[in-house]
Structure 1
Amino acid sequence: MICPHCAKNLLRKERPGNRCSHCGRRYALDPKTNPLGLHDLRVLRIAAGLTDEGRVRITPGQLWYALSRKRIREAKGAAGCAAGALAIGVLLTLGALIFQVAFLLYVSGTLLASWLAILVARRTGAVGGVPPIPRAHFRSVALVEWLQVYGSLPAGVVDDDGLALPERPKDAPAPNAVLVCPDPSIAAFLAADGLPERHGIALVRGAEQVRALLPSLPPRGPVLVLHDADAPGELLLRTLRAGHPERPVVDAGVALRTVRGLTKAVPYRDPDGKPSAEERRRLEALGEFTPEELKWLAHGWRFPLVGVPPVKLLAVVDRLAGQAARGGDAERRRATEAGFMTWPGAAPGGTDPQDVSR
């Protein structure tokens, strides 16, 4: 690997204890011992790309996905086992038939059955796709070592550990809309960019905060829902729509059907984040998902918001928030003209906030 300090190419024996034998300085991550094969220069390079060379700020969650994406996609373990079992099984079957050895036929049958089981499991989404470092462990496995060596996160990365969203000042104008974002990394990303203040919208993490803010919104001020393409995200969107039928609830998240058809979108599987039996029943009862999609969700597969390129995500949410803010201003004007208690909906020929979409 290349020393991040003196740029010397170091053999394994030349970097004992994560220290360069040429310049004597310590580095944070060694590709031979890190589960993701990380080294400091790769982390810096990926972070620079995500931030668009410092134009935007990102969070550790977004950095985790970008550093894990290649390993998730490769999924060598399951593919290698299946291919190996098939090849050995075929060879043993031929040997058993040629030499008439019953034991070899038994072993080959077992291997071919194993291959078939692996193949079925992969096709149904029951295996593969598990990141080498779970997102929850990224801080303790990689970031702790980075902080010990450098004292701060990579340039452009803002910490989202236990970050609470800033409270709206009591004298602040009423928001035009509400943006719901359960993912702490993405909420911190949007807050760091100043998006809520720029568009006069309230950024919240869940449904409880939405209910608390509704009285201060314009009569038909929209609720934007920014969510992962996974079971909790799909259920959150529909829960908010069912709970607030009088308001436009806009799906600002990653569309499940769209993202599953994109070759560049790399989902991952969280074995500990599978939906419960009750959540699976609710998803099935909606009648909006195919049997294949329901199986995909049931196995814990998801495509996260942290997987969307930060600059692209910010541009999309910026546009949606701007549309929502303009709709809220128009609603306020019409409410003032018609009288709040008598105002029935969008004015004739006007723009209905329910038309706000991607």
Structure 2
Amino acid sequence: MICPHCERNLLRKERTGNTCSHCKRRYALDPKTNSLRLSDLRVLRITTGLTDNGRIRVTPGQLWYALSRKRIREGEFAPGCAGGALFGGVVFGFWALFGQMPFMLYASAALLATALGVLIARRRGAGRGIAPMTRGAFRSEALAEWVRVYGSLPPGVVDDNGHPWPRRPADAPPPHAVLLCPDPSIAAFLAADGLPDRHGIALVQSPERVTALLPALPPRGPVLVLHDADARGELLLRQLRQDLPGRPVVDAGVSLRTVHGRPKAVAYRDPHHKPTAHEMRRLTALGEFTAQELTWLAQGWRFPLVAIPPVRLLTVLGRLAKRIGRGVDDERRRAAEVGFMTWPGAGGSPGADTSGKKGTPSA
């Protein structure tokens, strides 16, 4: 690997204890000792791309996916085991036949059976789509070591620990819309960029917070839902639409139909967060998904929000927020023209209708 400090090419024996034997400086990550095969230079290179050369900031969740994407795509069950077992089985077989040690045939047969089993498991998809390092492990292992060595997260990466959803001050103007985003990494990303404040949108983490903010919204102020393309994300969107009749609930992504089966949309599986049987029955009862899509969801496949390129996510949400702002402003302007929310002596004619009935935007 290349030393991130002096840029010397280091052999394994020249970097004992994650310390360069030439410049004597310590580095954080060695590709031989972590499951994502990370090096400091690779982390810096990927971070530079994610942040658009430092123009925006990103979060550990987004960095994790970007660093894991290639390994997820190439993921296979028991890497190296099939080849090793096959080679050992052949060697033991020749040993047994030509070395006059017939008992070695048992070892040869066992190794060949192991190789065959691994190959069959791979053929059936075992291990496919499973990240070698989880998001939690990436934070507690790779990033923790990075912070120990360098004193802070990689340049351009903001922390998403704690409560990243910004709290609206009591004297803040009413929002144009509410953006529901349960993923703390994406919430921290949007807050760091200032998108909610810039467009007058309240960023919240739960449906309960959405309900609490509804009285402050304009009559047609929408609720935007940012969710993963997985079973729980699809259910979250539909449950909110059911709970808020008459209120526009917009699917801001990621929709299953936009990513399922797309080669560039590298989904992954999380064996610890498979949907329950009850959740799958609810999805099936909707009648909106094909049998193939339901099977995909039931196996725990998902395409997360953190997989969307950060610049693209900001661009799409920014355009959506501008459209919403223009729509809300148009409604307010039309309402003011007919007297809605206008008080006599404060810019409206004394005879203006202040009841709110005439010209009030329909709910």
Q: When the two structures are superposed, what TM-score results if normalisation uses the length of structure 1? A: 0.84
Q: Identify if the C-alpha distance between structure 1 residues 108 and 345 changes in structure 2 by more than 3 Å, giving closer, same or farther.
A: farther
CA contact under 8 A between 1:201 and 1:325: conserved in structure 2? Answer: no
Provide the rounded CA distance (Å) in 2 between the counterparts of 1:264 and 1:236: 25
Q: Identify if the C-alpha distance between structure 1 residues 81 and 321 changes in structure 2 by more than 3 Å, giving closer, same or farther.
A: farther
Provide the rounded CA distance (Å) in 2 between the counterparts of 1:159 and 1:11: 34
User: Equivalent residue for 2:261?
Assistant: 261
User: Equivalent residue for 2:298?
Assistant: 298
The alignment partner of 1:250 has SS state of strand
Matched to 1:331, the amino acid is E
Q: Identify if the C-alpha distance between structure 1 residues 127 and 289 changes in structure 2 by more than 3 Å, giving closer, same or farther.
A: farther
Mapped pair 1:143 → 2:143: yes
CA contact under 8 A between 1:78 and 1:128: conserved in structure 2? Answer: no
Matched to 1:60, the amino acid is P
Provide the rounded CA distance (Å) in 2 between the counterparts of 1:83 and 1:229: 36
The alignment partner of 1:77 has SS state of coil
Matched to 2:357, the amino acid is T
Provide the rounded CA distance (Å) in 2 between the counterparts of 1:345 and 1:328: 13
Q: Identify if the C-alpha distance between structure 1 residues 151 and 79 changes in structure 2 by more than 3 Å, giving closer, same or farther.
A: closer
Mapped pair 1:329 → 2:329: yes
Provide the rounded CA distance (Å) in 2 between the counterparts of 1:338 and 1:241: 31
User: Equivalent residue for 1:214?
Assistant: 214
Of 75-84 and 51-60, the range deviating more from structure 2: 75-84
Deviation string 1:135-158 (CA, Å, 9 cap, x unpaired) is 122111100100000001111100
Provide the rounded CA distance (Å) in 2 between the counterparts of 1:193 and 1:39: 28
* Structure 2 alignment gaps of length 5 or more: 87-105, 341-354
CA contact under 8 A between 1:75 and 1:128: conserved in structure 2? Answer: yes
Of 276-285 and 58-67, the range deviating more from structure 2: 276-285
CA contact under 8 A between 2:234 and 2:255: conserved in structure 1? Answer: no
Rg larger for: 2
CA contact under 8 A between 1:178 and 1:203: conserved in structure 2? Answer: yes
Q: How much does 1:341 deviate?
A: 4.8
Provide the rounded CA distance (Å) in 1 between the counterparts of 2:32 and 2:120: 34
Identity %, equivalent residues: 67
Pairwise CA RMSD of aligned residues? Answer: 2.9
User: Equivalent residue for 2:8?
Assistant: 8
Matched to 2:179, the amino acid is L
Q: Identify if the C-alpha distance between structure 1 residues 252 and 82 changes in structure 2 by more than 3 Å, giving closer, same or farther.
A: farther
Matched to 2:292, the amino acid is E
Provide the rounded CA distance (Å) in 2 between the counterparts of 1:117 and 1:33: 26
The alignment partner of 2:142 has SS state of helix
Q: Identify if the C-alpha distance between structure 1 residues 341 and 127 changes in structure 2 by more than 3 Å, giving closer, same or farther.
A: farther
Q: Identify if the C-alpha distance between structure 1 residues 28 and 277 changes in structure 2 by more than 3 Å, giving closer, same or farther.
A: same
CA contact under 8 A between 1:82 and 1:118: conserved in structure 2? Answer: no
Q: Identify if the C-alpha distance between structure 1 residues 309 and 23 changes in structure 2 by more than 3 Å, giving closer, same or farther.
A: same
* Matching of residues 263-278 of structure 1 within 5 Å: 263-278=263-278
Where relative contact order (Cα < 8 A, 6+ residues apart) is larger, the structure is 1
* Structure 1 alignment gaps of length 5 or more: 87-102, 348-352, 354-358
* Matching of residues 220-259 of structure 1 within 5 Å: 220-259=220-259
- Count of residue pairs brought into register by the alignment: 331
CA contact under 8 A between 2:85 and 2:114: conserved in structure 1? Answer: no
Q: How much does 1:83 deviate?
A: 9.6
User: Equivalent residue for 2:59?
Assistant: 59
Q: How much does 1:68 deviate?
A: 0.4
Provide the rounded CA distance (Å) in 2 between the counterparts of 1:268 and 1:139: 18
Q: How much does 1:217 deviate?
A: 0.2
Q: Identify if the C-alpha distance between structure 1 residues 53 and 108 changes in structure 2 by more than 3 Å, giving closer, same or farther.
A: closer
Q: Identify if the C-alpha distance between structure 1 residues 143 and 216 changes in structure 2 by more than 3 Å, giving closer, same or farther.
A: same
Q: When the two structures are superposed, what TM-score results if normalisation uses the length of structure 2? A: 0.83
Deviation string 1:45-97 (CA, Å, 9 cap, x unpaired) is 000000000011000000000000010000232797789999xxxxxxxxxxx
Q: How much does 1:246 deviate?
A: 0.7
CA contact under 8 A between 1:85 and 1:115: conserved in structure 2? Answer: no
The alignment partner of 1:252 has SS state of strand
* Matching of residues 7-46 of structure 1 within 5 Å: 7-46=7-46
Provide the rounded CA distance (Å) in 1 between the counterparts of 2:75 and 2:28: 26
Question: Structure 1 segments of 4 or more deviating over 6 A?
Answer: 78-86, 107-114
User: Equivalent residue for 1:173?
Assistant: 173
Q: Identify if the C-alpha distance between structure 1 residues 74 and 11 changes in structure 2 by more than 3 Å, giving closer, same or farther.
A: same
Higher share of residues assigned helix: 1
Q: How much does 1:330 deviate?
A: 2.0
Matched to 2:261, the amino acid is G
Provide the rounded CA distance (Å) in 2 between the counterparts of 1:186 and 1:112: 43
Q: Identify if the C-alpha distance between structure 1 residues 52 and 111 changes in structure 2 by more than 3 Å, giving closer, same or farther.
A: closer
Q: Identify if the C-alpha distance between structure 1 residues 236 and 83 changes in structure 2 by more than 3 Å, giving closer, same or farther.
A: farther
Q: How much does 1:262 deviate?
A: 1.9
* Matching of residues 128-207 of structure 1 within 5 Å: 128-207=128-207
The alignment partner of 2:202 has SS state of strand
User: Equivalent residue for 1:307?
Assistant: 307
